[in-house]
Structure 1
Amino acid sequence: MFVSFFPKPKLFFASAAIWALAAILFWFFGGEQLGAVLGLPPAAAGAPPIIGITVLWSKPFLWFYIYFAACVLAFYAFWAWYSPHPWLNWSIPVSAFILFLIYFNVQVSVAVNDWYGPFFDYVQGLMSGTVQSTNAEFYAGVASFAWLALVGMNVSVVNAFIVSHWIFRWRTAMNNYFMENWSKLRHIEGASQRIQEDTMRFSQIMEDLGATFVQSIMTLIAFLPVMIRLQVHITELPIVGAIPQPLVVAALAWCLFGTISVMLAGIKLPGLQFRNQRVEAAYRKELVYGEDHEDRAQPATTSELFENVRKNYFRLYFHYIYFNVVRYTYLQADNIFANIILGPSFVAHKITFGPFNQISNAFGRVTNSLQFLLNSWSTIVELQSVHKRLRAFEATLQGEPLPEIDQRYLERQGADGPA
């Protein structure tokens, strides 16, 4: 699944993680200051944030773009020399570009959050009659947001297009790799479906989860300092009172509670999803045989196979009831949680309309990034079931025993004849 697209996968991903960590640490412990050598110094300490689209091509941002490109180029050059791979251009430069576009959109979100404060304080002043303004000034403020939204939207469109091609390239790599070894794999139950369908689903789910995870980490890194800066407006939290770092503590505790609740509620789903693919594949396979052989797909056989499909789906439906109750109850409560923790500050008149919008947005971004497992649990369940099916291919090619469920299938085949 990975060796077809990435060179020496275990070493590759370990080195990517180490290199990324080293690049991040160097950035925070001196690399950011090196931009001054090229006339691109960091923002002055205590300087107010730049409001509007121009922040995206300010000097600190331009230096980060150069720094990111240099780190990617060095990593690519090493692997091109150490372990050339036919898909190296897609597995490193294109993957890095996708990560950069995700980072860029996170920074657009931060810029929008910075815009919230002064603009909504300005709106509050207009509504209360304490600020005098003109139509031109009002629409100039709206236009500042519109430019950020327009850039973010177009970057998302470009990213979606590139990601679609990236997914299909990974599927192509897996397809070619498995087809080269078809003679060793054809005896595995549902081998044709695993190659035709599961390779596409695996690459698509991995990209989706990977991109979501990276975006969550980047959002957390970008918005935690924003939230820490804004919590000067927070006097205390409900019930617990005044504590250090109230917004951060509230976000961590709330997300930990939600993630553990959903994981416990969905603990049975991966096995049921995998079982669902097996019974569907068995039913479909019998019908395919029935197209060419009159003695196959007889009513008694198909009824039994479809009954297995029905039973598994009904079990899934049952277990999804309490899973969805827990998940959707938490997500609905999440919509008002920020307002609950801001209650004491509202009552104490410590917060205005601008900071309220900034805090609500920043808190929502941070909690959403911390809820990666919660929001992605259904996708993770699907990935586990697909991985189990493709794992039989890897076990065969590596000379390892088949997964237990595939061994049981082969035993039944030997006892009953071809199914």
Structure 2
Amino acid sequence: MFASFFKNKKWAFWAYSGIFFLIAINWYQTTLNVRINEWYRAFYDMCQNIDRHTLNDFYTQMKVFLWIAMPYVVSAISERYAARIWTFKWREAMTFSYFSYWKKVSKDIEGSSQRIQEDIFRFSRTIEEMGTRVLSAAMTLFAFIPVLWGLSSNVPFEFLKKIPGSLVWIALAISIGGLI
């Protein structure tokens, strides 16, 4: 399954450039998520002290949000499209790989070609969904480690205050537990 796509010279460009693009766009979305998180802090701090700010400050914050949100929407659509194309190319590589085995079967099995197509489709869809979610979750976790580390000192529970970066360790444990 993996060799038909990643080790075949015909599909190597799609395999490796697709993975590189998906990782790069996930990294970009993660940086935008961090910027949105910073914007939330600034915006809600402004809302909390509204008497010290003007309507122009509000509009400025809205412009900042648009400059973050618009590229995020475009990158999310691009990521989804690229992931679908990449998965389709992988399906195509696996189908051509298994086709040679299917032709050699001496016994005629009704619907076997459709079964091959459906099984490959399910496998590739599962890999696409799990891969993009795990990649996004891992990047988000690592991007927010400095934020969580800084917030760990403000935890109201004394036993957690004694552990340096307690929120990081809790988030890591929950992430690994969720992955398992």
Q: Same fold (TM over 0.5)?
A: yes
Offset at 1:151?
0.8
Offset at 1:196?
1.8
Offset at 1:180?
1.7
- Partner residue, 1:143: 63
- Label 1:107 to 1:372 Cα distance change in 2 as closer, same or farther (>3 A): farther
**Please, which of 88, 92, 117 is the counterpart of residue 12 of structure 2?**
88
**SS state at 1:4 partner:** helix
Asked if 1:2 corresponds to 2:2, the answer is yes
Moved over 4 A (4+): 185-190, 369-372
Offset at 1:223?
0.8
Structure 1 Cα separation of the partners of residues 104 and 24 of structure 2: 40
- Partner residue, 1:195: 116
Offset at 1:111?
0.8
- Label 1:116 to 1:370 Cα distance change in 2 as closer, same or farther (>3 A): farther
Offset at 1:3?
1.7
- Partner residue, 1:410: none
- Label 1:252 to 1:236 Cα distance change in 2 as closer, same or farther (>3 A): farther
**SS state at 2:10 partner:** coil
Asked if 1:373 corresponds to 2:175, the answer is no
Asked if 1:105 corresponds to 2:29, the answer is yes
- Label 1:172 to 1:241 Cα distance change in 2 as closer, same or farther (>3 A): closer
Asked if 1:222 corresponds to 2:130, the answer is no
- Partner residue, 1:172: 92
Gaps of 5+ in 2: none
**Please, which of 63, 83, 98 is the counterpart of residue 163 of structure 1?**
83
Structure 2 Cα separation of the partners of residues 91 and 230 of structure 1: 40
Structure 1 residues 18-29: aligned runs within 5 Å: none
**Please, which of 158, 161, 166 is the counterpart of residue 242 of structure 1?**
161
Gaps of 5+ in 1: 8-83, 256-368, 375-419
Structure 1 Cα separation of the partners of residues 106 and 39 of structure 2: 58
Q: TM-score, normalised by structure 2?
A: 0.86
- Label 1:241 to 1:200 Cα distance change in 2 as closer, same or farther (>3 A): closer
Offset at 1:200?
1.3
CA contact (8 A) 2:22 2:79 kept: yes
Offset at 1:252?
4.2
Structure 1 Cα separation of the partners of residues 113 and 33 of structure 2: 44
Structure 2 Cα separation of the partners of residues 159 and 100 of structure 1: 10
- Partner residue, 1:181: 101
- Label 1:92 to 1:214 Cα distance change in 2 as closer, same or farther (>3 A): same
Letter in 2 for 1:174: M
Structure 1 Cα separation of the partners of residues 177 and 65 of structure 2: 27
The structure number with the bigger radius of gyration is: 1
Matched residue pairs, number? 178
Offset at 1:219?
1.2
Structure 2 Cα separation of the partners of residues 139 and 199 of structure 1: 50
CA contact (8 A) 1:167 1:207 kept: yes
What whole-Å deviation, never above 9, does each CA across 1:79-110 have from its counterpart, x for those lacking one?
Answer: xxxxx610011010122111111111011001
Structure 2 Cα separation of the partners of residues 151 and 191 of structure 1: 44
CA contact (8 A) 1:103 1:218 kept: yes
- Partner residue, 2:54: 134
Offset at 1:229?
2.1
